[in-house]
Amino acid sequence: MTTGTMIPTSDPDLGALLQAYNDVAERLKQSHDVLTQEVHRLRSQLKEKDRELQRRERLAALGQMAAGVAHEIRNPLGGIRIFASVLERDLAELPKQKEIARKIGDGVVTVESIVRDILAFAGGAEPTLEHVSFGEVVDRVGVLVESKAKSLDVSVAVEEPAEDAVMLCDPRLIDRALSNLVFNAIEAAGAGGHVWIRQGCVAPGDELVAVVVEDDGCGIDPGSAQRIFNPFYTTKESGTGLGLAIVHGIVEAHGGHVRVQPRVGGGSMFELALPLARCDGGAQEVVTRVA
């Protein structure tokens, strides 16, 4: 259908020429509008990528500084722990003094845990990729979080997928990332609460598989949702604020992403997306799943 304006003229050839010119001009205008929209979209994407690149550079610099501090702290910690252990043993006949020595040792263990988190955040090690099934990861993480869930009276349920996706990932790192998310979900759910772990879906063609962790806790304040993956940011009374930053770093190193959004019915939903395993078949690479 012609969208241009018909141009009256007594000369049929001139009229046809002018009408053709009008049609071409209209199509060019439509093409220009489409291209303008595409330019705006690409500019928006470029700004987002630029912000992400700047964030990575800041995190890399912060990680290097944090790693240096952590190494300096860790060196004397070992000596303090040994001396506290010796002191606790020598004070066997003095219960009050022995208890003080034990508390010193416990404090050292806490600080060492913080140092390990800092080093894990700053590590930036390349993942050693393997073909790992969703079920294998969830089974291992279930064992890690079992005692925590029982101690807080939280139910952790795993929804079995119709088919078990095979992920291409470093199982050691992904176990840590997923267990961090589940530990957080357990704490958020609280006594009598529930946590669900399931295999989710991502946009077709992304060649990613999502591991979804949901809880029915109080949810995350919208103002905090944009910052919870930043290092050293926490809404808890205790903690380093590195747990979710470590999750973000691990998933990003795999070429995936981690997102958070409110859960329907209350609580939070975290989506951890990882690459699906692929067969080495040249141009005919095929996404594989375990039936």
Same domain, 110 and 178: no
- The span from the CA of 105 to the CA of 82, in Å, is 8
Same domain, 101 and 216: no
Q: Between residues 215 and 92, which one has the greater pLDDT? A: 215
The pLDDT assigned to 151 comes to: 92
Structure tokens at 170: 């470093």
State the pLDDT confidence band at 6, using cuts at 50, 70 and 90: low
Q: How many domains are contained in the chain? A: 2
Q: Between residues 224 and 97, which one has the greater pLDDT? A: 97
Same domain, 93 and 148: no
Same domain, 225 and 274: yes
Last residue of a domain, one of 100, 123, 146: 123
- What is the average per-residue pLDDT within 280-286? 33
Find the range with the poorest average confidence among 31-40, 81-90, 144-153, 231-240.
231-240
Q: Between residues 18 and 204, which one has the greater pLDDT? A: 18
Last residue of a domain, one of 81, 104, 123: 123
- What is the average per-residue pLDDT within 74-78? 79
Same domain, 27 and 150: no
Run of H or E including 133: strand 130-133
Q: Between residues 182 and 74, which one has the greater pLDDT? A: 182
> Which conformational region is residue 232 in: left (phi greater than 0), alpha (psi within -120 to 50 degrees), or beta?
left
Same domain, 70 and 210: no
Same domain, 118 and 174: no
Same domain, 119 and 208: no
Residues recorded for the chain: 291
Last residue of a domain, one of 123, 145, 169: 123
State the pLDDT confidence band at 58, using cuts at 50, 70 and 90: low
- The span from the CA of 17 to the CA of 21, in Å, is 6
Same domain, 96 and 217: no
Q: Please, is 111 exposed, middle or buried when counting C-beta atoms within 10 Å of its C-beta (0-12, 13-18, 19+)?
A: middle
CB 112, CB 77: distance < 8 Å: yes
**pLDDT tens digit string along 32-46?**
788 888 787 778 767
Whether 4 has a pLDDT exceeding 80, the answer reads no
Domain of 90 in residue numbering reads as 1-123
The pLDDT assigned to 61 comes to: 66
- The span from the CA of 284 to the CA of 281, in Å, is 5
**pLDDT tens digit string along 102-147?**
888 888 887 877 777 776 666 666 788 889 888 888 889 988 898 8
CB 159, CB 197: distance < 8 Å: yes
